[in-house]
A and B are shown apart, each in its own frame.
Chain A
């Protein structure tokens, strides 16, 4: 009797390692004034090159990956590599071309300027 051969060989003693970075929603402060909506997003450890801000059809999505590189043996670990992800609905009155962002001490400051049409306007009453 011929020995049966598997079509697909699996190495059962090599554990499958999926290095999946956990997704975390960052904490956010949202402010608004007459000219813009301002978001402060805590993203400690994320380089500014690793942040993506996407505005599409009234949906704002933020994402940023952080990699913590410590050398040596881990004695304790509470911080891990994470991917910050969060999305918001934004009003259509945001002027997408003028959106700007800066990073300050691990906090993302995202400015969403309102379009001219959406700004409150003082109507002057003409005397007659």
Chain B
């Protein structure tokens, strides 16, 4: 049987398509899960860290925590966020299902650079804490001019 190169090519294309379909199918398996706080590889609330050149930015999910019950400590490149969740169980109600835990937590981070602790800003909105951590003078990115 004589086969042209383009036929072989097409056959492989079809197999690739099948493979990508299968991949998409199996990725649906993990699509449904419960959002249990602290179920990740780290204990404590989940957080993201971004490096935006002049500053670092941290996002952390803290549902149901008032800003009065939250404390942030910074020293050099060490950041510690701790807080306490107060019970919001309403008075005079019978609980049927309680999934949301009550906890106090502390999570500490070693940041990749030193930060200027006097310029750090934190904001809590919709249960999401965002901290802007400006890098210290020594860690700021510098423009080098070529002579």
Contacts and interface: CB of A to CB of B under 8 A. Distances in A.
Instruction: Answer yes or no: are A and B bound together in one complex.
Output: yes
Interface stretch (A40-48, A55-63, A92-100, A120-128): A40-48
B31 A70 contact: no
30 contacts: A16-B20, A22-B30, A24-B32, A25-B32, A25-B33, A29-B89, A29-B99, A29-B100, A30-B95, A31-B89, A31-B94, A33-B93, A42-B127, A44-B128, A48-B126, A68-B128, A70-B48, A73-B51, A79-B59, A79-B61, A82-B35, A84-B35, A103-B126, A104-B64, A105-B65, A105-B66, A105-B126, A106-B127, A106-B128, A107-B88
B84 to A, nearest CB: 13
A75 interface: yes
Interface of B: 4, 6, 13, 16, 20, 24, 30-37, 40-42, 46-53, 56-57, 59-66, 88-90, 92-100, 112, 124, 126-128, 130
B59 A68 contact: yes
Given A43-B127, A75-B112, A79-B46, A28 B57 contact: no
Contacts of A73: 50-52
A78 B93 CA distance: 35
Interface of A: 4, 10, 12, 16, 18, 20, 22-33, 38, 40, 42-48, 66, 68, 70-79, 82, 84, 103-107
A28 B126 contact: no
Which 8 pairs from chain A and chain B are nearest by CB? A106-B127, A72-B52, A44-B127, A31-B93, A78-B46, A44-B61, A106-B63, A44-B63
A64 to B, nearest CB: 10
Contacts of B37: 27, 42
